[in-house]
Amino acid sequence: MRTLKTCLMATVAVAAFGVAETANAQTFVYGGGATFPSKVYRQLFDCFAFPADGNAPPAVPGGTGVVDPGQSDDGRKIARLAISPDCPSPTGNISGFLAQFLYSPVGSGGGKRAFRNHNGSNSGTLGLGIPAAANSIPYVSQFAPNYGYPSIHFAGSDDVVLPSDIQAYTGNANNPVHPTFGTWLQIPALAGGVAVAHNQKDGAGNPLNLSSGTLNLSRKALCGIVSGHITKWDNPILTALNGGTAYGTGQITFVHRSDGSGTTFLFTNALVAQCAGVFGPNNESDATLALYNFPWTDKTLPATQCPAIPVQGSNQINFPDAGANACGVTAPTPAGSAFANGSGNAGVVAQIHAINGAIGYATPDFVDPVVPIGTGPADGLPVAGVESQYDIDNFTGLYQKPTFAKAQTAMQAAIPLFTSVSRKNPLNWSRQMVQPNPLLQNAYPISGFTMLNLYQCINNADVYNTLLAYLNFHYNNDVAKNILHSQQFSEVPGNWFDEIVQLLNPDNPDTGFNIGGVGPCTGKSGA
């Protein structure tokens, strides 16, 4: 039997996989979840297989959130994001057969929920739910115009797998093996940085005074803004970063995600680690020293944990404008601070555009340089340079921006160390795939992997073969790498790829990725 390593190392014809070439336009692979990689996933899927919008304008029902061909998105004519300019085929299809991937960008929380329930419906209780109104990334096609999906085969998430996820998946938090679908497999798909974006305006609507041409934020400055203690653009801590000239005047408004978001997990998980022990004046009018630790609690935890709702990285956070937490306690807003929120990365970017003096976080494919800076709500935003731990320790005076190279450097600090026993537990992958405070030179400090969540056993041979062929394209093909880089995302480091091969090898008796009823999937019909 050809092993997965042989399959994944093959970089030529689809036949090298032993993949059946009988797949056709009726072979759909359904997924959904993280918005962090959703644009680049759409380009990858549409380059590898049949584009989501087909060869003609799709006949889709109203209210599905799908834009018309050629409609401008983030300042670009994207032809519905169907085909990346890096894809060499004029039809966008290099797989050799007419399968189609559909991916619904609902956020990491929705992706994990749908995966553990094996439910691709538009139910926000059990299934994927519905993408945010601001979403413009296609998730239906002329061949499958109705949403939600009849099944789900994979989920995207930037958020780690938790014991509670395994409990919901199998009924046993200590056992990740579902009797029908097999082991929950979570692997890193790509790496990227979470950008700190702003709209170039102070709270009065005037252009920021940027002596170096860019907004630079020390660790103290970023921690102070997010914790609500640095509230004005002429705060002395900010002014010192600008050569003694105030960036501007007026209110700073911090914008965050309102939905369950792996982008939020990556951002908050980093700040929980990086802001520990940082302190400064309570605010601009009160010199009393205050901790700038990340203060906001985990919104995903149930009321049974009251009053012990911890401060930790999470895909939803009890920011002051988020209402009461699970204990019925509304987080106090620090004096002078202001917060706002938006659903999805597009919603956050729209809020930053709309509010004078706003600053927030988003993925790099929503901001400059991927999306050119402009003045409209769909145009790119400039990003701040952020101080890394290396820059702090070595007094470099440098500030890092979220390029794919700097994200790749950051994630090289996350080193996989598995045994044959630990490798088969997705919780061990989740713990090792995070790097909340990378120490390497030229690392972007708020970086992380986005993950693919796969069922070990797939019940349809065409779907299985399509997924296996896609994994080869995703991890081995230079076209895929170029598409990733064009959106400021990075491929996974080689040491992680080696672990992925060992995990998914069809001959692996514990976790081998296979067709239902075959090999390690004997006795399991598959998803």
Across 316-446, the runs of DSSP E, i.e. the strands, are: 338-342, 358-362, 385-386
Concatenate the DSSP letters of all residues of 221-250 into one string.
HHHHHHTTS--BTT-HHHHHHTTTS----S
Maximum alpha-carbon separation in the chain = 71
Mean pLDDT, the chain, whole residue set: 86
- Percent helix, percent strand, percent coil in the chain, to nearest 5: 30, 20, 55
Distance, CA of 141 to CA of 79 (rounded, Å):
13
Q: Is 199 left (phi over 0), alpha (psi -120 to 50) or beta?
A: alpha
Q: Which three-class secondary structure state does DSSP give residue 447? A: strand
Q: What residues contact 166, with CB distance under 8 A and at least 6 apart?
A: 172, 173, 174, 175, 176, 184, 426, 427
For domain 195-401, give the CATH superfamily: Periplasmic binding protein-like II (3.40.190.10)
The Cα-based distances of 50 to 37, 44, 46, 66, 96 in angstroms read 19, 11, 6, 17, 10
CATH of domain 4-55+68-190+406-521: 3.40.190.10
Q: Is 244 left (phi over 0), alpha (psi -120 to 50) or beta?
A: left
Would you say residue 338 has pLDDT above 90? Answer: yes
Distance, CA of 245 to CA of 1 (rounded, Å):
68
453: closest CA among 49, 253, 182, 234?
182
* Phi and psi angles of residue 201, each rounded to the nearest 5 degrees, phi first: -120, 150
Would you say residue 3 has pLDDT above 50? Answer: no
**Whether 392 contacts 274, CB under 8 Å:** no
405: closest CA among 367, 364, 362?
364
Residue carrying structure tokens 């994630």: 411
Q: Percentage of the chain surpassing pLDDT 90? A: 69
Cβ atoms < 10 Å from Cβ of 2: 12
Mean pLDDT of 484-489: 93
Residues facing residue 73 across a β-bridge: 76
Q: What is the pLDDT of residues 30-59, one digit of tens each?
A: 999 998 899 899 999 988 888 887 433 333
Q: What is the pLDDT of residues 88-111, one digit of tens each?
A: 654 445 555 578 999 999 988 899
- C-alpha dihedral, 138 to 141 to 147 to 152, nearest 10°: -90
Distance, CA of 115 to CA of 106 (rounded, Å):
12
Cβ atoms < 10 Å from Cβ of 214: 13
Any idea which of 91-105, 247-261, 352-366, 456-470 has the lowest mean pLDDT?
A: 91-105
Q: What is the pLDDT of residues 267-280, one digit of tens each?
A: 999 999 999 999 99
Question: Which pLDDT does position 259 carry in this prediction?
Answer: 87
Q: Which three-class secondary structure state does DSSP give residue 455? A: strand
Distance, CA of 363 to CA of 346 (rounded, Å):
10
Would you say residue 252 has pLDDT above 80? Answer: yes
Would you say residue 458 has pLDDT above 70? Answer: yes
Question: Which pLDDT does position 85 carry in this prediction?
Answer: 59
Would you say residue 69 has pLDDT above 50? Answer: no
Would you say residue 153 has pLDDT above 70? Answer: yes
Question: Which pLDDT does position 26 carry in this prediction?
Answer: 73
Q: What is the pLDDT of residues 105-137, one digit of tens each?
A: 998 889 999 999 999 999 999 999 999 887 888
**Whether 123 contacts 40, CB under 8 Å:** no
Q: Is 99 left (phi over 0), alpha (psi -120 to 50) or beta?
A: beta
Question: Which pLDDT does position 472 carry in this prediction?
Answer: 93
Would you say residue 187 has pLDDT above 50? Answer: yes
Mean pLDDT of 448-452: 95
Preceding omega of 382 cis (within 30 degrees of 0): no
Q: What is the pLDDT of residues 293-336, one digit of tens each?
A: 999 999 988 889 899 999 999 989 999 998 888 899 888 889 99
Q: What residues contact 252, with CB distance under 8 A and at least 6 apart?
A: 203, 225, 230, 231, 232, 233, 337, 338, 357, 358, 359
Query: Between residues 522 and 134, which one has the greater pLDDT?
Result: 522
Question: Which pLDDT does position 416 carry in this prediction?
Answer: 95
CATH 3.40.190.10, the chain: domain bounds: 4-55+68-190+406-521, 195-401
